[in-house]
Structure 1
């Protein structure tokens, strides 16, 4: 088991890639703190996972847009499990608009959750990991962190920031035995995409040379690998999980 005996925090864990990663980590032997907004489905999802995986999943409410809540993620994890070995910074929001129409408050909100939120949680985790002398942080970026796309000014700026933040944290953390990496998914088949008109969905499919959208568990596989000891010599990297989307666009 890749994560046997490790303790993992997943932000944005109540759905999509976060939920799939929590499940895969549990299957690989980890104990998991599922973190998400208090008013969402996180507590229910964690209970279901806990029941299926022998009491190894608990829910901690957290809004990564709030520094106090991001900081408060670490203490209950250490209290309940003893350490924080892997953090998957997955919480994020979307949003599309032409740059000329983007309101300041919408732009700043996207940056705050998708970039500053990643930093808040990583900072809190690093303090604990430095004390431990070991740990791994995996940040969820995007193909839009390395490629431009119309109507994604805030999202693309945030995800590009996540990739360079990951590199910087990796350099700082290496001397403490801590690694930092990112995953960069292409378009993943989620309920939101399923609701798109057929022609829009088919257009997204055509962007990927493999001829389909990704599945949330395929990103989860990559996160589990980067968090595991199998990736012990990988840090400061971003792993594309994009069905070939970016291959011909450099």
Structure 2
């Protein structure tokens, strides 16, 4: 059974699981994305799932795409039942452009348009550079960076070039200071932030806006668990964040909704950091991170 939405101190509702919220309070017009279509990579779980839900609650139909069709099909049913909008699950691999092309063509056949692209698919784990294999480094860049370019290029060529649209890339603040155990993901996201600016310049004349949302620690996600969020929270590490807490998935979805919609119609080529101010003030605790990685490695064995 899905959790009841939690609303604390004026924050938007959220649930920790990959389920839809049983209640939702609109802070934008419910028709902000009426009859538009969003294509979301990695939309079957975590932040991507909540992005799909919030966009659908604002009148949008969605496509959620990743490699696991069974997981996507289950997620699509939840999203449609909760919002009354259509959600089409499609299997594809962002590292394989031919599968993206097939998925985009199926989207256009089903809906006749694509208005928003959310590049959310990503891979990450904690590992020091000295222990990181060449293949692991390459794989993260293939998913995060090549995957973002591949999907953006296919959607642009198939639809955005002639009709305009909005692209929102999901990034991270890892590379801003150089965080321990994250050279692979930090490098990939830094490349994506640069890509956002380049594509905004080149594709602006076609009516395409390209922006990025960079989340901080976000509760209720696999990344939060795998990257040590619960341990950091219990140790009081988040007290160093100006807002003194982790974010929630709905807050990230609201940032994406703003960037994807006409509410940000003159914004392009920008990175919106949504981390409660964490990257400005939180200690880059190398000793704690290395200790956490060692403990995790022991558990894996």
Place the TM-score, normalised by the shorter chain, in its bin: over 0.9
Unaligned runs of 5+ in 2: 1-30, 283-301
- In 2: Cα distance, 1:199 partner to 1:41 partner: 28
Matched, 1:244 2:273: no
> How far 1:241 sits from its partner (Å)?
0.5
Please state if 1:226 is matched with 2:259: yes
**2: distance between equivalents of 1:236 and 1:131?**
17
Match of 2:249 in 1: 216
In structure 1, stretches of 5+ residues that fail to align are none
Asked whether the 8 Å contact 1:14–1:40 carries over to 2, the reply is no
Higher Cα radius of gyration: 2
Aligned counterpart, 2:287: none
After superposition, the Cα gap between the structure-2 partners of 1:248 and 1:56, relative to the gap in structure 1 and judged at 3 Å, is same
Q: Which residue of 2 aligns with 1:133?
A: 163
Output the CA distance in 1 between the equivalents of 2:230 and 2:265.
42
Partner residue of 1:15? 45
Residue 143 (str. 1) matches residue 173 (str. 2):
yes
Cα RMSD, aligned residues only: 1.8
| Pairs aligned (count) | 249
For the residues of structure 1 that align with 2:138 and 2:74, how far apart are their CA atoms? 31
Report the equivalent of 1:123: 153
Moved more, 188-197 or 163-172: 188-197
Indicate if the aligned counterparts of 2:69 and 2:90 stay in contact, CA closer than 8 A: no
In 2, Cα distance between equivalents of 1:198 and 1:160: 25
Answer 1 or 2: higher relative contact order, Cα 8 Å, separation at least 6.
1
The two structures have a TM-score, normalised by structure 2, of 0.78
Q: How much does 1:128 deviate? A: 2.7
What TM-score do you get using the length of structure 1 for normalisation? Answer: 0.93
Is 1:41 paired with 2:49? no
Instruction: Return the offset for 1:39.
Output: 4.7
SS at match of 2:106: helix
